[in-house]
Homo-oligomer: A and B are copies of this chain.
Amino acid sequence: MKITTIISDSNPLLKMVRGLQSRSQREKSGLFLIEGTKLVAEALSKSIRIKDVLVSQTFLQERLKELQAASITELSVVDDQRFSQLVTTEGPCGIVAIARIPRCNEGDLFACQAPLVVIAEAIQDPGNLGTMIRTALAANASGMILTKGTVDRFNPKVVRAAAGALFVMPIVAEIASAQALDLVNKHGLTVIACEPTAQTLYWETDMTGPTALVFGNEGQGFSQPILTQSAQTVAIPMNDCSESLNVAIAAGVILFGAAEQRFKAAFSTGRR
């Protein structure tokens, strides 16, 4: 393994890591950051192209064997203090990789018989978006559409909260809500907007066919195109003392509601 020790603050790799905290730099370079051993290992196993790996001095000393086993052939090392200033993870981390942003074709979202696509409309909080991606993958969603105004999915906090799901989930981003609707309509999906005041409960609605579930901005809810063009709205029934649910929780509840319906339908018809 080739190991380069970085001793200068103006080292180009350090500059690049610092730069990749910003969305504009990520978009310009087509690169993003992956922080932490577990996520870097996950990225390697999911064929994400890693360009550079940077570790802290302590991490190198304590975990060299793991790095060798992970088929990393080249890395850079920097002292612990400088390293901690480079990452957004609180607490010990010790490793950051620079990776190529994976490409996704629109068709990947609809590549199965009954697609289940999540439209995230202008979700602001990185933790919420990351958790939604992680949850959507777990619930067998086939893809996601992130409308304009949604936080960048390659923001390090989103990457962390997505816990590896970002490396495999087909995602189309940065399109207007009206375009997102056109796209799912073109593929024959029924659009269901999840909305606290809807009259129909989510378990009363059939989600076994080609379905797009829309979840809105944390504060503002849905845009006009979603409000007027969704085929249905569904609600999660809540205790009278509750004002609302966190949007990632709402997505989890309804996505697994869909997963349960699909599981049961597959068993009853022998489609599975």
User: Which residues from chain A sit less than 8 Å from chain B, CB to CB?
Assistant: 42, 127, 131, 134-135, 137-140, 161, 163-165, 168, 201, 203, 236-239, 241-246, 248-249, 252-253, 256-257, 259-260, 263
Contacting A138 at CB < 8 Å: which of B131, B203, B242, B252?
B242
Contact (Cβ within 8 A) A134 B245: yes
Contact (Cβ within 8 A) A140 B239: yes
Contact (Cβ within 8 A) B249 A236: no
Central interface residue in A243, A252, A257, A263, by most chain B CB within 10 Å: A252
Contact (Cβ within 8 A) A138 B259: no
Task: Give the Cβ gap from A222 to chain B, nearest Cβ, in Å.
Answer: 20
Contact (Cβ within 8 A) A138 B239: yes
Contact (Cβ within 8 A) B244 A163: yes
Contact (Cβ within 8 A) A241 B163: no
Contacting A131 at CB < 8 Å: which of B164, B246, B256?
B246
Additional pairs, 7, CB under 8 Å, beyond known A42-B243, A139-B238: A134-B242, A201-B263, A246-B248, A249-B249, A252-B253, A253-B256, A256-B257
User: Which chain B residues lie closer than 8 Å to A161 at the CB level?
Assistant: 246
Task: Give the Cβ gap from A195 to chain B, nearest Cβ, in Å.
Answer: 15
Residue of B with least CB distance to A238:
B138
CB-CB under 8 A for A263 and B237, given A253-B252, A256-B253: yes
